[in-house]
């Protein structure tokens, strides 16, 4: 087949293809290869393949070299190349030996596929697992995602209930971003962090001369959020006096800055959040009932991470990708052992705790996969109970002793019943009790 | 001045991001005073740039490198002259004689608009080294004036 037809054939292939001679100089370079590498065919021909292809493995583990040495093809090895624009492009490569008509080896052929399209498809799939930067594909999160657009559209006051670290502020921001108020400000205030007097001036602002050192007017958060959304976190922690003032704003939509005699109208949507049960606080007379009904127009309960464990792998992938981006690193993810440990962990600090765990691992792990040794000490497997419920480091005899003692306790020392449960003959059990030296007291209650 | 160059089989290593050895050459008044080879482990762009900066490198001559690594090196105040290929000693000599612009040192596909980007340019502010650098010298020690603006 003449060279022109050869080139036409190669150019019709969607994957990049090039061939080399035995001195590693490029002898053909198809159109897709030009597009993926950014190197023109005319420039590539005759040059050493590593200077044209620039793959991460050229120096250490060249696939073509391996193929020519072993005579075995390499298939779908994933590496990256640096193209002419300085972009790292993930590709999968396959190599084979080239022989002439007499069967003598005259070089090698390498084909490669741009995996960016695959990555884009994966990213698109990941986007289906998130909503306004909130990650989750569990049923609980999907229900919340479905509720967000109509809730955002409604302009009603929203109460977000959820433990610390469940993403209350993220949800509040998502509601704001989806609402007609998105062009105006989203203002957040943690009510639990401020004493009463400060909270009042922070919320409603003050006029010059309202108190010593109040030399000029200061707008409050309600004024700053005018036309937008005010997010009041830890609303369950505010004092009864502040509850009364807040109730008035929510009822009348007017407030008075400190030291002012004139009322100010507030066009602000309030989203309140708490990590406590407001119902319970009302029952304990710690939260005004009328305020509770004012803020509890639409209530969204955010699930704890332990109640949506199926989201843990997704969140880990998301966090690893984010820290890779932020810290210019390229960790591949977490090992199976780490994933198993995190899947069984209860996360009292919820997603925020998971984020801290991954950040901790990024400090200790230099490359590759995050291993158990990179986890914070309380999550390392050593010293933790084995998954079976036995303490770690037990001998087989000690385990047997524990099992027999527990079975006997459960059956009030009835050896026949315990033997049935353990699946052994009563006489075998009796022999084992004697051999293991189980005392009479340990056999009964 | 300390010049570094990633090496592989006596030539400029094709991809700095994946390079395993770095030749670090110290030159005073155009004459080489010291050279050593450093092993670079596989590491992400940020730590790799930190490692090269720790070696006191002023100028890095290399072949291909990713944009992320190039930015990380610039942040460290290291001048990068990229997309170079050829025999290491020849490239070093050409650098001393300001002949790196010759076609024989160009990587395929990486010249054109990249050239101006890759000129040995000092960071405008906040660079690691602020003292003025003496004019580039030839290997024979003959003083050459830096070209005017």
Mean local confidence (pLDDT), A255-278: 90
Q: CA nearest A330 in B: which residue?
A: B44
Share the mean pLDDT of chain A.
86
- pLDDT higher than threshold 70 for residue A236: yes
The pLDDT of residue B7 is 95
Q: Which domains does chain A have, with CATH numbers?
A: 3-115 (3.30.450.20), 129-301 (3.40.50.300), 305-379 (1.10.8.60), 396-443 (1.10.10)
Report residue A115: phi and psi, to 5°: -90, 5
Please say if the pLDDT value at position A185 is more than 60. yes
Residue-wise pLDDT for A360-380, tens only, equals 999 998 877 898 999 998 887
Look at residue A262 in the predicted model and tell me its pLDDT.
Answer: 87
Which pTM does this prediction carry? 0.50
Cα–Cα–Cα angle for B21, B22, B27, nearest 5°? Answer: 155
Intra-chain end-to-end CA distance of chain B, in Å: 22
Residue B114 distance to chain A (closest CA, Å):
8
Q: What is the mean pLDDT of chain B?
A: 78
Q: Which of A55-69, A215-229, B30-44, B132-146 has the lowest mean pLDDT?
A: B132-146
Higher pLDDT, A405 or A353: A353
Look at residues A259, A55, A303 and name the one whose alpha carbon lies nearest to residue B66: A55
Q: In Å, how far are A64, A271, A299 from A127, measured between CA atoms? A: 37, 26, 26
CB contact under 8 A, A59 and B14: yes
CB distance B67–A85 less than 8 Å?
Answer: yes
Cβ distance A86 to B46 less than 8 Å, yes or no, reads no
Residue B106 has pLDDT above 80, yes or no: yes
Tell me the average pLDDT across A62-68. Answer: 90
Q: How confident is the model at residue B127 (pLDDT cuts 50, 70, 90)?
A: very low
- Average pLDDT, stretch A295-309? 93
Minimum Cα–Cα distance from B15: chain A residue:
A54
For the cut 90, the answer to whether the pLDDT of residue B6 exceeds it is yes
User: B43: nearest CA in chain A?
Assistant: A367
Higher pLDDT, A402 or B130: A402
Q: What is the pLDDT of residue A383?
A: 45
Q: Output A106 or B135, whichever has higher pLDDT.
A: A106
- The count of C-alpha atoms lying within 13 angstroms of the C-alpha of A49, restricted to the half-sphere facing its C-beta, is 28
Do residue A37 and residue B109 have CB atoms under 8 angstroms apart? yes
Indicate the range of A52-56, A145-149, A252-256, A424-428 predicted with least confidence: A424-428
pLDDT at B141: 37
> Among partner residues B63, B64, B109, which is closest to A40 by beta-carbon distance?
B109
Most B CBs within 10 Å: which of A34, A45, A54, as the mutation test of the B interface?
A54
For residue A437, pLDDT beyond 70: yes
**Mean pLDDT value across residues B82-99:** 92
**DSSP labels for B56-95?**
T-SEEE-SB--HHHHHHHHHTT-EEE-SB-SBHHHHHHHH
Q: Is A55 near chain B, with CB under 8 Å?
A: yes
Give the mean model confidence (pLDDT) for residues A280-305: 92
pLDDT for res B131: 41
Name the more confident of A396 and A56.
Answer: A56
Most A CBs within 10 Å, among B22, B106, B108, B114, to test the A interface:
B108
| Residue in A39, A55, A60 closest to B20 by CB | A60
Residue with tokens 């502010």: B125
Residue to mutate among B12, B13, B15, B80, with most A CBs inside 10 A, is B15
Q: Which residues pair with B12 in a beta bridge?
A: B7
Tokens matching residue B141:
């020690």
pLDDT at residue A406 above 90? no
CB contacts of A25 in chain B (<8 Å) are: none
**Given this model, what pLDDT does residue A156 score?**
92
Cβ-defined contact of A84 to B114 (cutoff 8 Å)? yes
Identify the pLDDT of residue B117: 38
Residue-level pLDDT at A273: 95
pLDDT of A125: 64
A375-396 per-position pLDDT tens digit: 998 887 544 444 455 655 667 7
> The tokens of B36 are what?
């050593």
Average pLDDT over residues A225-241: 92
What pLDDT shows up at residue B130?
41
Buried b (16+ CB within 10 A) or exposed e, A145-184: beebeebbeeeebbbbbbbebbbbbbbbbbbbebbebeeb
∠ Cα B83 B84 B88 (to 5°): 150
pLDDT of residue A386: 47
Question: Using CA atoms, how far apart are residues A361 and A374, in angstroms rounded to an integer?
Answer: 5
Percent of chain A past pLDDT 70, that is, above it, reads 92
> Would you say A361 and A323 are in contact if contact means Cβ atoms under 8 Å apart?
no
Residue A208's Cβ-side half-sphere holds a number of Cα atoms within 13 Å equal to 3
Confidence tier at A126 by pLDDT (50, 70, 90)? low
Nearest CA in chain B to A57: B18
* Ranges of each domain in chain B: 2-118
Quick one: pLDDT at residue A3? Answer: 74
What pLDDT score does A212 carry?
A: 74
Q: Which fold has domain B2-118?
A: Nucleotidyltransferase; domain 5 (3.30.420)
Q: What pLDDT is attached to residue B120? A: 35
Q: Is A43 on the interface with B (CB under 8 A)?
A: yes
pLDDT tens per residue across span A93-125: 999 999 988 989 999 999 998 888 776 766 666
Mean pLDDT is lowest, of A74-78, A235-239, A334-338, B97-101, for: A74-78
DSSP assigned state of B110: -
Interface check for A56 against chain B (CB to CB < 8 A): the answer is: yes
Chain B positions touching chain A (beta carbons under 8 Å): 8, 13-15, 17-20, 42-47, 63-68, 70, 72, 85, 107-110, 114
Contacts A39 to B, Cβ<8 Å: 108-110
Cβ–Cβ contact A52 with B under 8 A: yes
> Tell me, what's the pLDDT at A215?
79
Quote the pLDDT of residue A381: 58
């Amino acid at each position: 087949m003449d060279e022109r037809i050869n080139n036409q054939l190669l150019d019709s292939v969607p994957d990049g293809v090039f061939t080399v001679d035995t001195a590693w100089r490029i002898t053909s370079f198809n159109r897709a290869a030009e597009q993926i590498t950014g190197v023109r065919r005319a420039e590539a021909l005759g040059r050493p393949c590593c200077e044209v292809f620039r793959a991460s493995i050229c120096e250490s583990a060249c696939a073509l070299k391996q193929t020519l040495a072993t005579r075995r093809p390499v298939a779908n090895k994933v590496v990256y190349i640096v193209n002419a624009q300085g972009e790292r492009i993930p590709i999968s490569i396959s190599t084979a030996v080239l022989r002439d008509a007499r069967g003598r080896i005259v070089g090698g052929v390498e084909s490669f596929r741009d995996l960016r399209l695959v990555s884009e498809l994966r990213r698109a799939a990941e986007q289906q697992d998130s909503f306004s930067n909130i990650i989750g594909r569990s049923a609980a999160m999907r229900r919340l995602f479905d509720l967000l657009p109509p809730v955002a559209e409604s302009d009603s006051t929203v109460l977000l209930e959820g433990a610390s670290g469940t993403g209350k502020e993220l949800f509040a921001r998502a509601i704001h971003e989806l609402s007609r108020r998105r062009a105006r400000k989203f203002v957040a205030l943690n009510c639990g962090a401020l004493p009463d007097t400060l909270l009042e001036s922070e919320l409603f602002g003050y006029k010059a001369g309202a108190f010593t050192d109040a030399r000029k007017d200061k707008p409050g958060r309600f004024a700053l959020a005018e036309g937008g959304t005010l997010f009041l976190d830890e609303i369950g922690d505010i004092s009864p006096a502040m509850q009364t003032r807040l109730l008035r704003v929510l009822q009348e939509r007017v407030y008075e800055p400190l030291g002012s005699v004139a009322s100010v109208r507030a066009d602000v949507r309030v989203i309140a959040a708490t990590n406590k049960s407001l119902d319970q606080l009302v029952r304990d007379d710690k939260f005004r009932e009328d305020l509770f009904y004012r803020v509890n127009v639409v209530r969204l309960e955010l699930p704890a991470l332990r109640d949506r464990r199926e989201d843990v792998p997704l969140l880990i992938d998301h966090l690893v990708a984010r820290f890779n981006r932020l810290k210019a690193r390229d960790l591949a993810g977490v090992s199976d052992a780490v994933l198993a440990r995190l899947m069984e962990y209860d996360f009292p600090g919820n997603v925020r705790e998971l984020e801290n765990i991954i950040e901790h691992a990024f400090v200790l792990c230099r490359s590759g996969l995050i291993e158990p040794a990179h986890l914070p000490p309380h999550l390392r497997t050593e010293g933790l109970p084995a998954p079976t419920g036995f303490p770690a480091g037990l001998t087989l005899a000690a385990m047997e002793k524990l099992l027999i003692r527990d079975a006997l306790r459960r059956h009030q020392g009835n050896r026949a019943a315990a033997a049935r449960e353990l699946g052994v003959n009563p006489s075998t059990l009796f022999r084992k009790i004697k051999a293991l030296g189980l005392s009479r007291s340990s056999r009964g209650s | 001045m300390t010049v570094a160059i990633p090496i592989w089989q006596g030539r400029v290593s094709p991809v700095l991001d994946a390079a395993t050895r770095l030749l670090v050459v110290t030159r005073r008044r155009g004459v080489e005073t010291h050279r050593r080879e450093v092993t670079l482990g596989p590491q992400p762009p940020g730590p790799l740039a930190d490692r090269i900066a720790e070696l006191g490198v002023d100028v890095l001559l290399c072949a291909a490198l990713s944009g992320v690594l190039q930015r990380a090196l610039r942040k460290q105040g290291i001048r990068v002259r990229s997309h170079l290929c050829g025999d290491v000693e020849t490239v070093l000599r050409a650098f001393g004689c300001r002949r790196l612009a010759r076609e024989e040192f160009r990587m395929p596909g990486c010249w054109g608009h990249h050239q101006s980007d890759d000129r040995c340019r000092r960071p405008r502010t906040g660079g690691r080294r602020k003292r003025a650098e003496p004019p580039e010298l030839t290997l024979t020690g003959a003083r050459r004036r830096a070209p005017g603006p």
